[in-house]
A and B are shown apart, each in its own frame.
Chain A
Amino acid sequence: MQIPTGTEPGVEGVVLKADVRDLDFYYGAFHALKKVSMPIHDHKVTALIGPSGCGKSTLLRCFNRMHDLYPGNRYAGGGIVLYPDNTNLLSPDVDPIEVRMRISMVFQKPNPFPKSIFENVAYSLRVRGMRNKNELDDRVEAALKEAALWNEVSGRLKELGANLSGGQQQRLCIARALASDPEIILFDEPTSALDPIATASIEELIIELKEKVTILIVTHNMQQAARISDFTAYMYLGEMIEFGVTDQIFIKPKKKATEDYITGRFG
């Protein structure tokens, strides 16, 4: 794989889906992201790693404007350019709801809605105004298949989502995120609440999903980043320390700080 030379699209073999440029973010007075830059490659898995509290979730939640929900949060400079639109999705005149329609998210702890399995997956479609029963049925089935959950739940779509096991709930949340055909899915430590078997099936799923969507995943588990990602970004104290092809980051990191973290000397 070619190591990205620039963050602009158009370099041969490199297609960018988004590009974070000199992004500054504040929680009130707390400077949580400091001039962060990194490319997001189209149809690849990009992992964000770094010690707890370094700003991984903060960066991830900029992508779908989750920070807009809380007063006091501030995008203070730079931006995230979304391709092919070539627009800064953090710009104040971009509607956060439109951003979230295209960039979906799966959370750390499975958070199915208090609804049936079917309605959980149909939610993102209903939100978009889809009412046609047949179309909903088809899209829900397709999403559940893509999330490798269909075989387990096809006979019990009317049951509450909360009745499923933890791993199934997380796959339900992935199906929910997939149903509306997003361009990017953000994962914030999606397996940290799951057992090893459920974790393995989610990891496998994420690798398959990059055929369909671009994936950005936060993980505190370096082995996971190494297993599933194409690119890895190492963050520390709100700064982007190093970004590169995953193999390079894990085998030959350029920065001493990255190497210390990877080898477990720190973090």
Chain B
Amino acid sequence: MTEHVSDRLSRKASRHVKERIIEFLLFGAAAFSVFITVAIVYVLVKESWVFFETVPLSDFLFDTQWTPLFDDAHYGIMVLLSGTLTSSGVALLVAIPLGTIIAIYLSEFAGFTVREVAKPFLELLGGVPTIVYGYFALTFITPLLQKFYPDLPGFNLLSAGLVMGIMIIPYVASLSEDAMRAVPMALREGSYAMGATRLQTALWVVTPAATSGIASAYILGISRAVGETMILAVAAGMQPNLTFNPTEPGATITSYIVQVALGDLPHGSIGYQTIFAAGLTLLLMTLAFNLLGYWLRKHYREVY
């Protein structure tokens, strides 16, 4: 009897050791990703520090020119920020309405077969390399737009933004649809039982119930738009231009970073240092959106 008990105890102990090892490995994986993130932030901040020792923060924030490579160098991040915001704005004007409509359709109206076919298609759209989208914007969308608007320059923020919007639709649609499908059937039944139509149920009950998930989908869309690089580098022209007019060419924070990183500026020069300051700005923006998303999720917590 005693032997039996001690046998069981020892087996439990060995299981405990195994669990500890697995726990340690999992902790290691988590710690590694945290470490990488911290390292990236460290490099960005350190190199930006060097930059801001030469360029005052007020110039960086309020100057209206961005000419770091000229003799008369200016470092007004607003110029790049305007390109980023304009192209992202165009993209979101496409992606948010269409993505939401597609999500509502797939979640509330489409039959089983349609949904099973449409979802992989959407995901495929999300898997197209962005360089392909970039050339699609440059060689198809821009000429198409020029038919209606001949003054449109060959490089412009509009076609880049539109195509970026198309690229983001699957993310917005897919995540919003997941959020809507997670709304319990009991809520829909409650709505139908009151005599509501499908559309009323979708718009008045399911969508509000899925608000926080849909908001997260939008935030992810915004982050994708703000961080998108290739499409803009290919189709928007990479000319720093303080404008909120999408029919003009423009550089964004990301396309500027590629431009400099691909050029042959000596490491350590102030021109090279700009990409860290620009990168830090991008990081702070994305962080702000993520915090906003976090806040929205807290605030509009699903209350089924």
Q: A127-B195, A128-B195, A162-B303 are in contact. Are A113 and B190 (CB under 8 A)?
A: yes
Contact call A100/B189, Cβ cutoff below 8 A = no
Asked if B39 is at the interface (CB within 8 A of a chain A CB), the reply is no
Closest to A112 in B: B190
> Which residues of B sit under 8 angstroms from A107, Cβ to Cβ?
186, 189-190, 193
Segment 92-129 of A: residues with Cβ below 8 Å from B? 97-98, 100-101, 104-105, 107, 109, 111-115, 123-124, 126-128
Segment 93-138 of B: residues with Cβ below 8 Å from A? 111-112
Contact call A101/B195, Cβ cutoff below 8 A = yes
> Which residues of B sit under 8 angstroms from A69, Cβ to Cβ?
188-189, 192
**Interface residue stretch chosen among B21-29, B204-212, B254-262:** B204-212
Which of B189, B190, B193, B208: most chain A CB closer than 10 A?
A: B193
**Interface residue stretch chosen among A42-50, A172-180, A259-267:** A172-180
Contact call A115/B193, Cβ cutoff below 8 A = no
A64→B195 CA distance, assembly (Å): 9
Asked if B197 is at the interface (CB within 8 A of a chain A CB), the reply is yes
Partner of B303, one of A97, A127, A160: A160
Segment 170-209 of B: residues with Cβ below 8 Å from A? 184, 186-197, 200, 204-205, 208-209
> Which residues of B sit under 8 angstroms from A177, Cβ to Cβ?
193-194
Closest to B196 in A: A127
- A-B pairs with beta carbons under 8 A, tally: 72
Q: Looking at the assembled complex, report how far the CB atom of B189 sits from the nearest CB atom of chain A, in whole angstroms.
A: 7
Asked if A198 is at the interface (CB within 8 A of a chain B CB), the reply is no
Segment 208-233 of B: residues with Cβ below 8 Å from A? 208-209, 211
> Which residues of A sit under 8 angstroms from B184, Cβ to Cβ?
111
Partner of B208, one of A64, A97, A115: A115
Asked if B47 is at the interface (CB within 8 A of a chain A CB), the reply is no
> Which residues of B sit under 8 angstroms from A126, Cβ to Cβ?
204
A109→B194 CA distance, assembly (Å): 16
Q: A97-B197, A123-B204, A160-B303 are in contact. Are A111 and B187 (CB under 8 A)?
A: yes
Asked if A66 is at the interface (CB within 8 A of a chain B CB), the reply is yes
> Which residues of B sit under 8 angstroms from A114, Cβ to Cβ?
187, 205, 208-209, 211, 302-304
Contact call A66/B192, Cβ cutoff below 8 A = yes
> Which residues of B sit under 8 angstroms from A111, Cβ to Cβ?
184, 186-187, 189-190
Q: A113-B209, A127-B200 are in contact. Are A105 and B195 (CB under 8 A)?
A: no
> Which residues of A sit under 8 angstroms from B196, Cβ to Cβ?
97, 123, 127
Q: Looking at the assembled complex, report how far the CB atom of B213 sits from the nearest CB atom of chain A, in whole angstroms.
A: 12
Query: What are 15 A-B pairs with beta-carbon distances under 8 A?
Result: A64-B193, A66-B192, A98-B195, A104-B193, A104-B195, A109-B186, A111-B184, A113-B205, A114-B302, A123-B204, A124-B195, A126-B204, A127-B196, A160-B303, A162-B303
Residues of B within 8 A of A (CB): 111-112, 184, 186-197, 200, 204-205, 208-209, 211, 302-304
Other CB < 8 Å A-B pairs besides A104-B193, A113-B187, A127-B200, 5 of them? A107-B193, A109-B186, A123-B204, A162-B303, A180-B195
Please name the 9 residue pairs, one residue from A and one from B, whose CB atoms are nearest each other, closest first.
Answer: A101-B195, A105-B193, A124-B194, A162-B303, A100-B195, A111-B190, A111-B186, A114-B209, A127-B196
